[in-house]
């Protein structure tokens, strides 16, 4: 089988899950009206398939900051951070992230994916070990692969299994990086951080926490799971993204370890990627201020999440273990998930369809992303449509 034949085989496998004419992935969004509404074809639809958790994508402060940055600094940096891409705004945002987390230092990356890729591959290498949750994001898996370290998975959110695997490593546990996430993107569940921290300290390992989906969502000021649990000083490295609650694109790593700064000299994804555009940095800085002072936004987000979670649970849907900004209905077959996804779209509701192998346990997910800009009336409508489709499709 040559290279092109492999692509044909992948296309055949995809078509086996998705009938011809069903464009569930990469569906074209023709026009965006607000943080909650858009146009697909000729239909005005309700957006529940974005990670716009605080609803800041149209915040006037962010729009103004982006416009001003374009006027002053142009459309792009045209170079990496090491070459010519560390503008005043990039350095200011790094300081603001460090201040936000009350950490020694911060590094800004061009994407959230590269934040994990660059941090992990810079921290560990051949001869080291990474212990990762089995449900880790692809960027974590890819960062581990790039590093050349030995990769060991522990059962999802199972601290007992983590401890067992560390115990087996013996002295190598001291050269082990443990990686977990604040909120997991498939089912919206949270890591048992207190248990993981206790184990990490017991074996003198290093802990990296990816707060991509929990930044802005958890904690009084939105730091994430570290703030909710009060364990920020026990986590060695925190990574995250700008592409969710901050409504931009980019990523970061913060740490109290002074060695963080050395990643700038050894991390290929940092060294060899053009730095974020000035407008991206400017809008992110504005969004970070809104996030930090966004108690009312978090309150509305959680009200919406609990409203929809309760409705879907009472209807009979199999959901993740707790309410949150990600509410995913587990469906046993790809065909059932596709029918549910299609039915929602026919009622002008856009959500995410997750099919094997991306979904856990070889099942399928229909995933909703809730945000603070959704009104109670919109959430109520979504719940009613889910209930209608459950009775006609899934029951």
Sign of the torsion angle spanned by Cα atoms 150, 144, 121, 148: positive
Per-residue pLDDT averaged across 218-247, rounded? 98
What would the DSSP string read from start to end of 257-318?
-GGGGGHHHH-HHHHTSBPPPHHHHHHHHHHHHHHHT-HHHHHHHHHHHHHHHHHHHHHT-B
* Alpha-carbon distance values, 114 to 119, 183, 202, 240, 275 (Å): 8, 19, 30, 10, 11
DSSP H/E element including 366? strand 364-369
- pLDDT for the residue 22: 52
- pLDDT for the residue 395: 63
Q: Is the pLDDT of residue 26 over 80?
A: no
Q: Which segment of 254-258, 329-333, 389-393 scores lowest on mean pLDDT?
A: 389-393
CB hemisphere CA count around 164 (13 angstroms): 7
Residue 20 — pLDDT band, cuts 50, 70, 90? low
- pLDDT for the residue 24: 62
Question: What are the tens digits of pLDDT across the range 131-160?
Answer: 999 999 999 999 999 999 999 999 999 999
pTM for this one? 0.94
The structural domains of the chain, ordered by start, are 16-54+295-394 (3.90.1150.10), 60-292 (3.40.640.10)
Q: Is the pLDDT of residue 23 over 80?
A: no
Residue 355 — pLDDT band, cuts 50, 70, 90? confident
- pLDDT for the residue 18: 65
Angle formed by the axes of helices 334-346 and 376-389, to 10°? Answer: 130
Residue 309 — pLDDT band, cuts 50, 70, 90? very high
Question: What are the tens digits of pLDDT across the range 246-290?
Answer: 999 999 999 999 999 999 999 999 999 999 999 999 999 999 999
- pLDDT for the residue 267: 95
Q: Which segment of 41-45, 103-107, 264-268, 331-335 scores lowest on mean pLDDT?
A: 331-335
Query: Under 8 Å CB-to-CB from 29, ≥6 apart: which residues?
Result: 38, 39, 40
370 close to 379: Cβ distance less than 8 angstroms = yes
Per-residue pLDDT averaged across 171-175, rounded? 95
């Amino acid at each position: 089988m040559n290279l092109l034949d492999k692509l044909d085989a992948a296309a055949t496998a995809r078509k086996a899950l998705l009938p011809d004419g069903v464009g569930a992935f990469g569906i074209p969004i023709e026009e965006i009206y607000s943080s909650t509404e858009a146009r697909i074809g000729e239909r005005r639809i309700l957006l529940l398939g974005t990670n716009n958790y605080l609803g800041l994508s149209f915040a006037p402060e962010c729009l103004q900051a982006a416009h001003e940055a374009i006027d002053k600094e142009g459309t792009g940096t045209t170079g990496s951070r090491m070459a010519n891409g560390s503008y005043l705004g990039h350095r200011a945002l790094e300081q603001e992230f460090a201040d936000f987390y009350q950490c020694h230092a911060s590094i800004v990356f061009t994407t959230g994916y590269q934040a994990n890729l660059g941090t992990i591959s810079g921290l560990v290498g051949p001869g080291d070990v990474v212990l990762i949750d089995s449900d880790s994001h692809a960027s974590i898996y890819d960062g581990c692969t790039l590093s050349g370290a030995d990769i060991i998975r522990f059962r999802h959110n199972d601290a007992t299994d983590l401890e067992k695997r560390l115990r087996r490593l013996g002295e190598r546990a001291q050269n082990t990086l443990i990686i977990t996430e604040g909120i997991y993107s498939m089912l919206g569940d949270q890591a048992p951080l207190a248990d993981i921290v206790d184990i990490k300290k017991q074996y003198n390992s290093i802990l990296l926490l990816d707060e991509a989906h929990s930044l802005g969502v958890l904690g009084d000021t939105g730091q994430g799971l570290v703030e909710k649990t009060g364990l920020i000083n026990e986590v060695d490295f925190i990574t995250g993204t700008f592409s969710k609650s901050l409504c931009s694109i980019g990523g970061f790593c913060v740490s109290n370890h002074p060695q963080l700064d050395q990643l700038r000299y050894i991390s290929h994804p940092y060294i060899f990627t053009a730095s974020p555009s000035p407008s991206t940095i400017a809008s992110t800085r504005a969004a970070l201020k809104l996030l930090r002072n966004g108690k009312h936004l978090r309150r509305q987000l959680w009200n919406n999440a609990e409203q929809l979670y309760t409705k879907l649970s009472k209807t009979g849907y199999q959901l993740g273990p707790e309410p949150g900004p990600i509410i995913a209905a587990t469906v046993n077959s790809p065909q059932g998930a596709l029918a549910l996804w299609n039915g929602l779209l026919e009622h002008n509701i856009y959500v995410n369809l997750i099919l094997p192998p991306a979904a856990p346990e070889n099942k399928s997910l229909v995933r909703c992303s809730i945000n603070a800009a959704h009104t109670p009336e919109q959430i109520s409508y979504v719940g009613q449509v889910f209930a209608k489709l459950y009775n006609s499709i899934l029951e």
